[in-house]
Amino acid sequence: MKILANDGISDLGKALLEAGGHEVSTTKVAQEALANTINQEGFDAVLVRSATTVRKVVIDACPGLKLIGRGGVGMDNIDVSYARDKGLTVINTPASSSQSVAELVMGQLFSISRFLNDSFKNIETGDFSTLKKNYAKGVELRGKTIGIIGFGRIGQCLAAYALGVGMKVIAIERKARIQPITLKIAGQTLEVPVKVVDSLLEVLDQLDYISIHVPKQADGAAVIGTAEFKRMKKGVRLVNTARGGVIEENALLEALENGTVAAAALDVYENEPNPLKALIAHPRIACTPHIGAATLEAQDRIGEELAELIIAFAKEQKA
């Protein structure tokens, strides 16, 4: 197969595919030239991350395309159902980046609890007396309650980290249950039961921290908006590494101004790659540019999983 990895692929993934007899191009093609390039170069498969979209117009324009691959979890940048209805195979790598995203969330939790993002911006002033007063009201994670909205692979991985630093965990998902979380510490394994509830509104006033791990909603509605902010505990801290749009951004800014939200950390935005300026300039919002899965280890796992899936697909095609 001839494969266009338009948003890149790890060296390991590329090597595995080439060892399997496939040709891989990592030359970046502009979105507007994607369909023409696929047709002109005769690509059988296109692999994307979050930068490239594969919508109906591309699918219709590329009759020779057999496979679309997404290196990561969410596939809202691909018209998945339409592609499958047209006979294309669509794959992704939902398990490969869980740990990387969970570790970014933990870093963000520490950052917004101790003003790390804003103090870094302002330390060049050299006015330590004022700065120490400005950042004197940090809080500790231990003993606080975190609500994890969406309790799939990433949510459960985050729960293990949060439990490890002494936080209390409440998960929110459609199906209420008790979910055992496995902690591996110093060669020992421990299982901790986590309560999963099916109503966000019922637990919002109990949460000191909230982290969101759900896909973009089919109807485009926000998971957290004005109504949810009104139910939150004063001084809550909020993290979103899921998808832009699951938090109503203007409502978040209002909640920061009225003191409902003490701080927030965002890795995703409604208008990427041009986020609302009021978000990235806000002193109590820590911003990162959609880097949840951007670790060397995750990229190797993603590349390896994509390679395995593509090699298996090619063998099925020949059978």
Active site residue 282: no
pLDDT reported for residue 220: 82
Distance, CA of 96 to CA of 288 (rounded, Å)? 20
pTM: 0.89
- What is the total residue count of the chain? 319
Q: Please confirm, yes or no, whether 243 is among the known catalytic residues.
A: yes
pLDDT for res 210: 98
User: What is the residue whose two structure tokens read 């609500």?
Assistant: 147
Q: Are 73 and 96 in contact (CB under 8 A)?
A: no
Q: What is the pLDDT of residue 216?
A: 85
Tens-binned pLDDT, residue by residue, of the chain (319 aa): 999 999 999 999 999 999 999 999 999 999 999 999 999 999 999 999 988 999 999 999 999 999 999 998 889 899 999 999 999 999 999 889 999 999 999 999 999 999 999 999 999 999 999 999 999 999 999 999 999 999 999 999 999 999 999 999 999 999 999 999 999 888 999 999 999 999 999 999 999 999 999 988 878 899 999 999 999 999 999 999 999 999 999 999 999 999 999 999 999 999 988 999 999 999 999 999 999 999 999 999 999 999 999 999 999 988 7
Catalogue all structural domains in the chain, each as residue range(s) with its CATH number. Answer: 2-96+296-318 (3.40.50.720), 98-287 (3.40.50.720)
Q: Which of 237, 243, 282, 301 is catalytic?
A: 243
pLDDT for the residue 50: 86
Check 237, 282, 290, 301 and give the catalytic one: 290
Q: In this structure, are residues 110 and 162 in contact, taking their beta carbons and an 8 Å threshold? A: no
Is 142 a residue of the active site? Answer: no
Q: pLDDT tens across 267-317, in order?
A: 999 998 899 999 999 999 999 999 999 999 999 999 999 999 999 999 998
- Expressed in angstroms, the distance from the first to the final Cα of the chain is 15
Question: Of 41, 140, 257, 272, which is the active-site residue?
Answer: 272
